[in-house]
Structure 1
Amino acid sequence: MRVSAQSLFNTSGQQLPLERIYAPIDYAVVGQQKSGTSTLWNLLTWNSAVRWAGFQKEQFYFAAEIPKTVLCDQDIQTYLGMASIQRLRENRTDALIGDWSATYFSCICCAASLRTLNPKMKIIVVLRDPADRTLSRFLEQKRHHRGPFGAVTANHTFASWVAFELAELRGCLERAAVLKAPPGVGTGAGGPEFPGWGAGWSLHQWMEAQCYSRSNIVGWSVYAPFLENWLAQFGPQKVMVVYTAELATDPASVLQRLEAFLEVPPAKYNPDNIKLVFNSRDCYNWRCAKKKGEISSSEAASNGTNAGIDPRAAAFKAAMQALVEFYKPGVQRLVQWADAGKITKVPAEWRSIYGV
């Protein structure tokens, strides 16, 4: 059903011009899933100038977690109406309306859709240590059997799931490699600095990105192709990368940077509140807050499951090392972009862990 702001609200007496009321969203926090977007949402939206479309954190309007949910040609009028409703409620000229669907980062067509909506949109990406994100997502699905991947992971340990999904990914990547142009063909100078879907990707690059996009637990931690796609559509000046580690250790600095990036007035944050963590492994809910010291380890949180999460076990260590090796080339690309000033500096821990 189509929803329009005009059908739900009487716009008489509103101070906003109609072109602002019906404007597209101003910014989007596109992911990555299980990287701290819930914490960032709860912290950053304490700034009254930072609002969001819809009635909850994530709308999943253009994409959720599985391929069949990708709907980049969704009804635009309804989506614009969601933003309009929030603007009418706020009735202020300095409020920005955004989309916080953390599933968009790995959605290949979402970047192009959002750019079509608003080429001036600001994009925020939160990235977590790749192997840690994979472990966190796996554990979440093991503890919630009704989750989108609860059934398929039910009989797997972490080690067996990593082996299974890496094999699937490598098979997909081998098939994609067949489409790669021979050396010297189509690789001359003059192409875009950051190619993307519909913006310079070859058929090989598109299929390779699909391999990762269709692998929610392991593949979604290969950040480089997805980030390249967003940079292709919006450019480095409109894409801000923040890291889970810095959000955990220095949230005030992250919030200040994001306020400057979004060009909103700085807010006064409660120093105790910004130390909270939301939607953690001990409380899977967008609004559920925990102090850092209250969050159990992955090993403790896996009690009662057959997840096989034991940092001392050889199988677990081997699985983590396999992930580190698999993610290393992608992390190397992020480091290169960071060193070139295109994205925020990659955490030093990543350079050490992944040897880049």
Structure 2
Amino acid sequence: MTGSEPARTIWFHRAFKAVTGGEVKHSHYFAHAGHLAGFSTRIAFTGGPLNEALAAERRRLWPVGNVEGAAGWTPAQEDMLFLAGTDWRYLSARGLGGTDHPRLNLVQHVRHADPDTELWSYLPRRAIRICVSPEVADAITRTGRPQGPVIAIPNATELPPWDWERAGGCGAWKDRQRPVAVVGYKDPELAASLSERLRRDGVEHEVLARVRARGSFLSQLAETRVAVCLPDPTEGFYLPALEAMASGCVVVTVDAVGNRGFCRDGENCIVAERDPESLARAVGHAFWLRQDARGRFLASAADTVAAHALHVERSRFHAVLRDVDGLWAEAGRSAVATGADRPRLSFMIVGAQKAGTSALAQFLDAHPEIGMSSLKEVHLFDAPEYSGEWTSADVDQRYRPHFAHTRFTGLPGDPVLGEATPVYLFLRDVPAELRRYHPELKLIVLLRDPVERAISHYYMEKGRGGEQRPLWQALLLEPFRLLRSRDPRHPESAQRMHSYRARGLYSRQLRNLYGVFPPEQVLVVRAEDLLRDHDAVLARVFAFLEVSTEVRVPPAVVFEGEPGRRRHRLLSWSLRLSYLAEFVRLRALQRQGRVHDANPKADT
């Protein structure tokens, strides 16, 4: 669009009755649209009169002046329509159901995939659908009903991450006036049962059983130490958990579609079973976390909030708007992926766990030619439901919701796609499946000092509640735990949880990898090199992936605050002795030229 062309208006509608996460997200998209040159916004409000408090909330969410407000939709030919929820009723009431105005449909709930709901009936209507999470996109795509493109733009918050270090760290957290808040208005029955259980335990707490004014809700979170967030099991994105992280709370929650994309058990939150006993135990665990573990939780939560910043959501929506006519032209066909629009991964970060894979994935995602999955660890090839009968097209189809956003980054060209699931290196049968999926796939392996990696792994499991024994005993029992574990793919198998020393036996894992992939398709990155020589090592990684090496990605803090060897000097020394033979085997691999190293000094 040139500067001489008139602005295209995007028409919005709301029948506002209460402040909910869905209404907040609608207001975000209204603001996003108004921040792109060449586009303007109009909004029509319907429904009964509002009391003074709700009227004030509506003005805050949608600060509409005389220009933006409208008595009803009257779109010009070049305009477009934004629909959310049951706005399709309003579309029909205005007599616009048969027009060719491009329709942008915000989908915030997996209920759209439920045949017993009204929302299901809207899926076959032509639209460009924007889903608030890959899980929602996957749910509606699997129905085969959507008419038009289905795009996942992960939900974001306008709240900045809580700077826990500047705020006084864990000391400031302890000074908060409210010990526990149960955000229970999505599941009041479970909230009441949990409240009774906490009361019997003598735990001071408050239950938020009704939706509150947003300012009041956020103020309460800012004074709370532990926030128990109870989502609806089927909502598309659960904003209160992300807001609690942004407010500096230690978050306890339950597994649900709405938080699966950003809640990582034992890292930025504690995920309990959906019952009062399990939740009460998790509250106790969260409340009495050691100071170093709490610091890691708060730092990880701050990173999560930063990754869901509103400007990221805005830029992705703007890219959709810039391509809206092309997308609307595509909307005459089904959303089921064709060979042209299925993602094909170019690379994977396959390990090792606790070696900096999250940091590297973040660095790569910052490169304009690289697109990382919206969920860092997709765990597709190690999932219990994975089948060796899946074709490459089947795998691509399952990856599709996790990469829907990469087409709408606003950047030129097709991005190089990748994901990071660090357990793939450790599971012996996975490399062969990766090769079968894509013979030219490139693999990146991060290696960290195995002693530090083992200790970090131990404290991660301890923080999650998956390890109760002291470190020395856990290491002593590890071989017996691994021997008794029959299904390494099980989420709670010893191979996943208690393989502290075994995962540091890198030569065995690399030999398994090289038995399937040629060495030139595998790049080994030492975590210590990435920390010490960030720019040069990243340049080698970029060259390996065949993207521009001129891009500079700033470094970030990695491994800060982890309990280290100094805390376990004697045990660390003993553990290092046990790795002596492993160090020899690893050097032998290097001498054979089988380890392609990202260290810039490795070639000299």
TM-score bracket, normalised by the shorter chain, equals 0.5 to 0.7
Instruction: Kindly state the Cα deviation for residue 157 of structure 1 after the two structures are TM-superposed.
Output: 1.4
**Structure 2 residue aligned with 1:100, among 407, 415, 420?**
420
> What one-letter code is carried by the residue in structure 1 that aligns with 2:475?
V
Aligned partners of 1:345, 1:88: CA distance in 2, in Å?
A: 31
Alignment of 1:87-166 (within 5 A): 88-89=407-408, 93-145=413-465, 150=466, 153-154=467-468, 156-166=469-479
Aligned partners of 1:212, 1:224: CA distance in 2, in Å?
A: 17
Instruction: Kindly state the Cα deviation for residue 32 of structure 1 after the two structures are TM-superposed.
Output: 0.5
The 8 Å contact of residues 377 and 421 in structure 2, kept in 1 or not, is answered as yes
Q: Residue 197 of structure 1 corresponds to which residue in structure 2?
A: none
The 8 Å contact of residues 51 and 97 in structure 1, kept in 2 or not, is answered as yes
Number of matched residues?
Answer: 264
- Structure 2: which 5+ runs fail to align? 1-138, 152-326, 332-336, 485-492, 600-604
Deviations 1:172-194 (A, max 9, x none): 8xxxxxxxxxxxxxxxxxxxxxx
The 8 Å contact of residues 29 and 100 in structure 1, kept in 2 or not, is answered as yes
Q: Residue 557 of structure 2 corresponds to which residue in structure 1?
A: 277
**Could you say what secondary structure the match of 2:523 adopts?**
strand
Q: Residue 150 of structure 2 corresponds to which residue in structure 1?
A: 8
- 122-131 or 223-232: bigger deviation: 223-232
Q: Residue 244 of structure 1 corresponds to which residue in structure 2?
A: 527
Aligned partners of 2:598, 2:541: CA distance in 1, in Å?
A: 17
2:80 is the alignment partner of 1:80: no
Aligned partners of 1:164, 1:339: CA distance in 2, in Å?
A: 34
> What one-letter code is carried by the residue in structure 1 that aligns with 2:586?
L
Instruction: Kindly state the Cα deviation for residue 99 of structure 1 after the two structures are TM-superposed.
Output: 1.9
> What one-letter code is carried by the residue in structure 1 that aligns with 2:561?
S
Q: Residue 338 of structure 1 corresponds to which residue in structure 2?
A: 590
> What one-letter code is carried by the residue in structure 2 that aligns with 1:79?
V
Q: Residue 268 of structure 1 corresponds to which residue in structure 2?
A: 551
Alignment of 1:293-304 (within 5 A): 295-296=560-561, 298=563
Q: Residue 225 of structure 2 corresponds to which residue in structure 1?
A: none
The 8 Å contact of residues 133 and 221 in structure 1, kept in 2 or not, is answered as yes
**Could you say what secondary structure the match of 2:510 adopts?**
helix
**Aligned-residue CA RMSD in angstroms?**
3.4
Instruction: Kindly state the Cα deviation for residue 72 of structure 1 after the two structures are TM-superposed.
Output: 5.5
Aligned partners of 1:93, 1:268: CA distance in 2, in Å?
A: 16
Aligned partners of 1:72, 1:219: CA distance in 2, in Å?
A: 26
Aligned partners of 1:11, 1:240: CA distance in 2, in Å?
A: 41
> What one-letter code is carried by the residue in structure 2 that aligns with 1:261?
F
Structure-2-length-normalised TM-score: 0.39
The 8 Å contact of residues 108 and 213 in structure 1, kept in 2 or not, is answered as no
Aligned partners of 1:48, 1:110: CA distance in 2, in Å?
A: 29
2:495 is the alignment partner of 1:226: no
Deviations 1:297-332 (A, max 9, x none): 516xxxxxxxxx764xxxx44432332233222222
Alignment of 1:51-90 (within 5 A): 51-53=371-373, 55-63=374-382, 69=384, 71=386, 73=388, 77=393, 79-81=395-397, 82-83=399-400, 85-86=404-405, 88-89=407-408
> What one-letter code is carried by the residue in structure 1 that aligns with 2:433?
S
**Could you say what secondary structure the match of 2:418 adopts?**
strand
Change in 2 beyond 3 A, CA 1:213/1:38: closer
The 8 Å contact of residues 540 and 598 in structure 2, kept in 1 or not, is answered as no
The 8 Å contact of residues 337 and 343 in structure 1, kept in 2 or not, is answered as yes
Change in 2 beyond 3 A, CA 1:117/1:250: same
**Could you say what secondary structure the match of 1:124 adopts?**
strand
Instruction: Kindly state the Cα deviation for residue 122 of structure 1 after the two structures are TM-superposed.
Output: 0.7
Instruction: Kindly state the Cα deviation for residue 166 of structure 1 after the two structures are TM-superposed.
Output: 4.6
The 8 Å contact of residues 334 and 346 in structure 1, kept in 2 or not, is answered as no
**Structure 2 residue aligned with 1:43, among 363, 383, 389?**
363
Instruction: Kindly state the Cα deviation for residue 42 of structure 1 after the two structures are TM-superposed.
Output: 1.2
Structure-1-length-normalised TM-score: 0.64
The 8 Å contact of residues 35 and 126 in structure 1, kept in 2 or not, is answered as yes
Point out which structure has higher relative CO (alpha carbons under 8 A, 6+ apart): 1
Aligned partners of 1:226, 1:13: CA distance in 2, in Å?
A: 45
Instruction: Kindly state the Cα deviation for residue 218 of structure 1 after the two structures are TM-superposed.
Output: 2.1
The 8 Å contact of residues 62 and 110 in structure 1, kept in 2 or not, is answered as yes
